[in-house]
Chains A and B, each alone.
Chain A
């Protein structure tokens, strides 16, 4: 098997905890990542890089989903209106 061992249960929980703290900070600062630098660094140090990417995508998706639910779907403007 290539590469390092999979994270243990303890390591997973530490990663998820750091992620949740980072996200809570983002939630209370209107997603201003600059206000949450320290927690972002803690999150990225606690989680494998692949997981950081995965969770970042997850957050983007959740935000997009929330936007759809609250604002409704906005179809792109069609080119050439009569």
Chain B
């Protein structure tokens, strides 16, 4: 009976590993370009932890606040040399206005390693859909200006490309850092 139970556990473990590998390949993928025009997909960030935020440069207040928070959380974690590297990412939900130059200008005010990603409207739409992020551009005014309504979320992705957690507006930078550290401490790499 013990042998049967061990065999069952082994099967469950290998099924779980298979599911996780499928997730790491298929879940939350994107085809975008960074501010130097280089194509980037999720594969480019494997091997690193990623903190990813969706926003836009014409955002009245939420995006600067969330990016300050994200930057601060990354800074707090960087202080511990024992921790693995953490890559902050910003994906625009306003590809029409947020081209590479606009993103580069905007992101200068935040963490120096923060990478900005943009793309065609289709590519951005697909990336937002992959993360289940709601995006809705508002009506344009007489100057052609508009705001984009969107889910306010920061996603944590592990070095295998698997989604681990997401953080809303109410979490502080310190809480973010603490949570990310907890995930890093309990992380077990997917066997090849």
Contacts and interface: CB of A to CB of B under 8 A. Distances in A.
Interface of A: 1-9, 12, 16, 47-51, 54-55
Contacts of B61: 12, 16, 55
A1 B141 contact: no
B146 A50 contact: yes
Given A6-B97, A16-B61, A55-B60, A50 B145 contact: yes
B170 to A, nearest CB: 14
Given A2-B97, A6-B106, 16 more contacts: A1-B97, A1-B98, A1-B102, A2-B96, A5-B102, A9-B64, A12-B64, A48-B58, A48-B145, A49-B143, A50-B60, A50-B141, A50-B146, A50-B147, A54-B60, A55-B60
Given A49-B141, A49-B143, A5 B105 contact: yes
Contacts of A49: 141, 143, 145
Contact of A3 (B64, B99, B138, B144): B144
Instruction: Classify the secondary structure of A's interface with B.
Output: loop
Interface in B122-180: 138, 141, 143-147
A18 to B, nearest CB: 13
B129 to A, nearest CB: 22
A9 B106 CA distance: 8
Contacts of B145: 3-4, 48-50
B109 interface: yes
A7 B64 CA distance: 11
B57 interface: yes
A13 B170 CA distance: 21
A9 B71 CA distance: 15
A3 B94 CA distance: 13
A26 B5 CA distance: 70
Contact of A54 (B96, B97, B143, B147): B147
B67 to A, nearest CB: 11
